[in-house]
Amino acid sequence: MAAPLPKAALYYSPQSIWASVPLLALEEKGYGSDEVDLKAVDIAKGENFAPSYLRLNPSGKSCTVPTLVVPLEKTLSPEIESRYKAIQDTKSIVEFLDKSRSAQSRTHTTSSAPSPSLTAATIAFATTSSLIIQLLHSPETDPNALYYMNARSDEELKALAQQLTPFLAGRHDALATLIADSNSDAIIVSEKTKAFWKVKKLATDKFIQVFEVADKPASELSEEAKKWRADYLQSAREAWNTLKDGLTTLNTEIIGPFALGDQLSIADLHLAAWLARIAFLAGATTSDDGGTVLAKIETHLGDDFTLPKDFSVAEARRKAGLVSADVETSEKQSKLAAFWDAMKDRASWKKVYGDGLH
């Protein structure tokens, strides 16, 4: 009996925003459940900092998930010991998944599901797609930073601390153990890796310093702790205020209801995961429709921020293939609200976000 052909392996975390993008891609491209091994990385336990994971996604890439490990093209024969390469960023992973299951691909596949191309079809669309993806991954709209900075008042900080402290404590303990083991030569790693762990631990400890006294009124804090809290709250306000420009740009650039019009593209997968995280931070749920989600985001941003509601609901639903019998022809919504409604009806969305937003 011939040995099985080597498979790709996707290292991901169920809570990771950017790991959700390739998970959506696997569904949209019609990959079979047996074609890619899914390997969960527990970031709450710091498994993404372990030496075994560093060999796949080194410290220069910040030890992030996802990572896709694929067999090299000329080692697909079962008689040959396989060699692999690791693709270490979301954009490259999704582009690889799109190209590797298509009419032109020679990749072994067991699935008979359709495999639509997700690549932009024209130069103009490719430019728009690149602009959207670049914006979503920019520091100005960083959803991971907003996850840690989702408190702009003492009361919000107290609630956020209850949510994040266990995660940060697990991360701290994992990094402290790795540093101690490397110092005692229980594990052998480079000085660069040791320095990287120390930087990550320092960043984690800074959040812990703020969160561990979040339940105390300012009057009971030391002067140093007061400064930490004030600096944190100011940084959080600035981060959420900056997001307004990003949302406005996205709402302008997407054509609607999807990023490039009525056909799903790679840009939509990035936007779907990004918007799901922002919606989650604003208190939205998977059961909310687009208008409700964007209203919650706008309220969360504050200062009477609103996006233009100039996109026909009936037209958006028609282009997305959704039922629009009960929609008034004059009803309008923002393009991001239309995008949400178009995505949440898809099988890929229901699978990735079936247990809730993250």
Q: Give the model confidence (pLDDT) of 167-189 as tens digits.
A: 999 999 999 999 999 999 999 99
H or E stretch covering 9: strand 8-12
Residue at 155 is within a domain: yes
In DSSP terms, 70 is beta-bridged to 85
Residue at 202 is within a domain: yes
Say what the pLDDT of residue 2 is.
44
The reply to whether 101 and 163 lie within a common domain is no
Its pTM surpasses 0.75: yes
The reply to whether 83 and 37 lie within a common domain is yes
Distances (CA, A) of 277 to 103, 233, 261, 340: 33, 20, 23, 12
Last residue of a domain, which of 64, 99, 119? 119
Regions in the chain scoring below 70 on pLDDT: 1-6, 59-63, 73-82, 103-112, 114, 323-325, 327-328
The count of domains in the chain is 3
Residue at 299 is within a domain: yes
The reply to whether 13 and 102 lie within a common domain is yes
Strands laid side by side in the 8-12 sheet: 36-40, 8-12, 67-71, 84-87
The reply to whether 15 and 99 lie within a common domain is yes
The reply to whether 16 and 95 lie within a common domain is yes
Which phi and psi angles does 70 have, rounded to 5°? -125, 145
Which own/partner contact pairs does 76-85 have at CB distance under 8 Å and 24+ positions apart?
76/5, 76/6, 76/108, 78/2, 78/3, 78/4, 78/5, 78/6, 79/3, 82/6, 84/6
Last residue of a domain, which of 165, 194, 215? 215
What tokens does 284 get? 């939205």
Residue at 322 is within a domain: yes
Domain hosting residue 39, numbered range: 8-119
Last residue of a domain, which of 119, 142, 168? 119
DSSP secondary structure code for residue 190 in this structure: -
Residue at 223 is within a domain: no
